[in-house]
Amino acid sequence: MEKTPEGKLELIATKNFSSSDELYKVVDFLNKSLKQYNLMFGLKKSGKSEMVITIYEV
């Protein structure tokens, strides 16, 4: 993986899922568990019934 300038996030992957309240808990768990590996997870709503999880390298 290429290094980016300090303070920049490198997009690793995105994945669409059906909307679920539990996805927020999953993303929170992943962020807390994998922080030491310089990974960050994002979650956004994409339409009424779809959500997108994004993975970044910090």
Q: Which residue has the tokens 């990974």?
A: 39
Which structure tokens are listed for 8? 């920049």
pLDDT surpasses 70 at 49: yes
The pLDDT of residue 47 is: 87
- The torsion defined by the Cα of 12, 17, 20 and 24, in degrees rounded to 10, comes to 0
CA distance 53 to 8: 18
3-48 residue pLDDT tens: 556 778 999 999 999 999 899 999 999 999 999 999 999 999 998 8
CB-CB neighbours of 21 under 10 Å = 6
- Would you kindly state where each structural domain of the chain is located, as residue ranges? 10-57
- Using 50, 70 and 90 to split pLDDT, how confident is the model at 55? very high
The pLDDT of residue 7 is: 76
